[in-house]
Amino acid sequence: MPIDPSLSSCIRRGSWCFIISSYFNAVRNWTKEHLKSHGIPVVADLPLGDNLQDHISFVSYYKTKQLVFNSPNKTKSFWTLARYLTTKSGVLTTPGGAESVAFISTDPKRPEYPDLEIIGVDMLFNEDAIRDRLGIDPKYAKHYSGVNDMNGFTLLYTLLRPKSRGTVRLKSTDAMQHPVIDPRYFENKEDVDSLLRGIRFSQELTKTKTFKSQEAELFHKPFSPCLENCKFDSDEYWRCYIGYFTQVIFHSTGTCKMGRTEDPTTVVDPRLRVKGIHGLRVADASIIPSMISGNTNAPCIMIGEKAADMILGIKPPTPLSHL
């Protein structure tokens, strides 16, 4: 069943259950049947709406006795606002509080290729932030109440290369109705494994000299729904916790996949032309075949610029081979 967008933190568990030949059969056939079921004439039978990918993440909290970090109440205080308005300094000068970014590899099979991005925020996310900014179900966001006066910082661990794939389908022929979006987060268990390795990495950070110098301790309240059948701090416990407290980053890509014309999984060719339809191109994040290991804003700008150059017939710049 598709996930309700208002409950984006509720993760379905499943398994990658089809082989590549059956996938290609589905690719060739689903669009035509789907459109016919809505009474829409088929112009080109392409796998539009397949291959949906997104970045997802979870948060780790660190409390500290050092006042260099902020509490949620301090961040929202009158004095913090006054400092910003009068001196243009302080925590409000940082975009969303994000002050650091790191890329790490936790996959022993590919140590040279980062699979997680860590974003450092100079305060703890309270219940309001967990609910409103991260989209966690309110009844679970309450688990993080009581941190408003606690100094500390938050690290967000983002899965860079998810293996799970979702779909986008029509709900009706009414263009004003929202489509049926089924992201299928964690359908591939390797995605859970990557975030689990991130949790173990977050635990190891507290043992480092730098974290000890800031008296930083991992802050985690045991989550009772995951203690019913799991021992605290076991891999099973954290897999359960990830299922409740993972949030989406809204970097959706892949549903209009670019690639070779003869590839049955693609919708547009390398020049962004929709296969089988004259005069139509797509130039946005949906053409990205496989999720990039970072934010999607700059790549989308590049895609738009490249599309404009191809339409205008502008040749690519000469490679800087001398550098």
Catalytic residues: 251
Q: In this structure, is the dihedral angle defined by the CA atoms of residues 293, 294, 297 and 298, taken in order, positive or negative?
A: negative
Question: Are the CB atoms for 89 and 81 separated by under 8 Å?
Answer: no
**HEC string of the chain?**
CCCCHHHCCCCCCCCCCCCHHHHHHHHHHHHHHHHHHCCCCCCCCCCCCCCEECCEEEEEEEECCCCCCECHHHHCCHHHHHHHHHHCCCHHHCHHHEEEEEEECCCCCCCCCCCEEEEEECECCCHHHHHHCCCCCHHHHHHHCCCCCCCEEEEEEEECCCCCCEEEECCCCCCCCCCEEECCCCCCHHHHHHHHHHHHHHHHHCCCHHHHHCCCEEECCCCHHHHCCCCCCCHHHHHHHHHHHCEECCCCECCCCECCCCCCCCCECCCCEECCCCCCECCCHHHCCCCCCCCCHHHHHHHHHHHHHHHHCCCCCCCCCCC
| 137 contact partners, CB below 8 Å, separation of at least 6 | 7, 9, 10, 131, 244
Q: How would you class 264 by CB atoms within 10 Å of its CB: exposed for 0-12, middle for 13-18, buried for 19 or more?
A: middle
